Chains A and B, each alone.
Chain A
Amino acid sequence: MSAKKSSSPSIPEGSEASAPSGQASEQEQEQKQLSQSYWALVWWRFKRSKAAIAGAVIVVLSYFMGALFAEFFSPYLVNQQSEYVEARPQWPHFIDEEGNFHLRPFVYGLEETIDEELFKRTFEIDKTKQYPLYFFVRAAPYKLLGVIPMDIHLFGTDPNDPEAHAYIFGTDGLGRDVLSRIIYGARLSLVLGLAGQALTLIFGATLGAISGYYGGGVDMLIMRTTEFLNAFPREPILMALAAIIPDSWNPMWIYFGLTILLAFVYWGGLARQVRGLVLSIREREFVLAAQSFGASDRRLLFRHLIPNTMSHIIVIATTMVPAMIQSETFLGFLGLGLRPPLTSWGILMNEVSNVRAIRFHPWLLLPVPFILISLLGFNLMGDGLRDAIDPYSR
C-alpha cells in the first residue's frame, strides 16, 4: 500500500491528508516526539488506537486473572468435585421473587430432580433457597503462585453455611464449577500459547535469519523444507502429531511435548518472514557498513541485524500467539493434546464435542466467549503493535 500517490494531483502538495485516523493533525506532535527513543515513539503511537489499548487490557487481564491468580479469582478449586453433577448455572440476582432489592447479590439453590424422559438426575434451580454471595470469603485452601498458602477467594457463599453453593456457570459431568475451570483453563492455554510461541520464535527466527543472511545452499535447504512442510494441511498434521504423544506420559511431559509440537508446525511461517526481513535489511545497511568498515565481524552484524528486525519479529510473534491458543483448543476439543486431569480450554471444549452435550448442557459452552475474547484481545493488540511499529505497512 503506497503511502504517497506519485503523480495524480488529487490533493495539492503541501497537505498530507491521506490518513483517516487524524494522523495528519497530529503531525506536529509527532515531530516533537522525534527526539524520543524508538520504543517511546512506538508506545505513543500504540496508545492512540483505542482498539489496541483495549486489546492490550484484555490480554493483560487474562494473564493476570487466569495465569497468575486463578485460584483467587475462582470460587472453587479446579478439580473440586461435588454431588451437583451437570447442574444448571446459578445466575446471580439482585431482585428476588417478591421484588425486593438486595444490595448483596445472591443465587438460587439447586434441587435434584429426576428427568422422566432421560432417566437422569438433573439439577434445576430451586427458588426457595437463596444463598447470598460474599466477597473475599474463606473457602477451599490453595497456594498462591504455588507458594503462599491462602484460602481467600474473590467471592463465594457463606463459609459458615455448609449447604450453600454458587455455581455461577453451572457444573460439569463431575460436579465441578465451570466458571472456576474456565479461569484455571486460561492458565494452561495462555501459557502454552506463550511458551509455544517462544519456542517457535527461537527456532524459526534463528533459521530464518541464517537462511536470509547466508543465502545460497543453506537458504535453499531451509526454504525447501518449509515449502515441503507447508504442503501438509495444518490441522490434520497437528492431529496426527498430537496423537503420537502417549497417554501414559506424565502431564508435564505431555505439556512439553505439545509445546514442541506447536513449534514444529508453526516455525516455517515465521522463518520465511524473518528471512524476508533479513534480506531487506541486508540489502540496505549491510552493504554500506561492510564497505565503510571493511570486513566486519559476523557477530557484530548479528548485533545490528537482530535489533533492526526485532520490532517486526515481535509483531509477528504477537499475532501468532492466538494461532497457538486456537490449535490447543482445537486439539483438546478432539481429545488430543492436553488431557485430564489437566485443565485447559481445549479440554473444556472436549466436553461439548457432540450435539447431545450442546442440547442438554449448553452451559458447558460458556468457555467459548472467553476464548473468543482473549483471541480478539491478542488480535487487536497485535494489529495495534503492527501499526505502531510501521504505520505504512497497511
Chain B
Amino acid sequence: MTAPAGQDLDLRQIELFLYREARYADEHDYDAWEALWTDDALYWVPAGGDLTEPGAQMSVIYDNRSRITTRLNQLRTGRRYAQSPPSSLRRVISNVEVLGREGSDILVGANFMLAESRDRGVEFWAGRTTYRLRIVNGQFRLAAKQVLLVNRDQPLPTLAFLI
C-alpha cells in the first residue's frame, strides 16, 4: 500500500483501508483483522447512555488489545456457539470523512449498513463508525474503532461477529 505519510491525506487510501478492515471482519479472517490493531487498541461498541465515562458504565463491547485477542481466540476455538457456525456477513461503508487529527492519529468517520444471516434469521445492523488510524512503518493501523449502532438504546440481538 502506498503510504500517505507526510503528504496530504489521501481519502482514497483511507477508504481502501476501511474496506479491507470490513472485508476481514465480514469474512471472519481473524488473523488479518487482528494484525490491523495497534498495541493501545480500543474496540468499543457503546450501549444506550452517554459516552463520557465508558469505564463507569456498561458497553456492548469495550475491548483493549488484550481482550481483542481473547475475543478472537474464543472465536478460533470453533466452539464459540454464537458464531459457530459463523454468521454470513456483508457490510457497506459510506460517507467516509476525515474528521481531524489527534497528534499524529487520523480520525475518520463513516456510516455502515450490514446484513447478518444465520439460522436465527437475517439481522440488519446500521450505525456510525469512528476510526482512529495511525501510520506505522508506512502502513495504516487501527488504534481505535467506536461503533455507534442506530438502535443502541433498544434490545439488541446477539452480536458475536466482528462489527
A and B bind: no
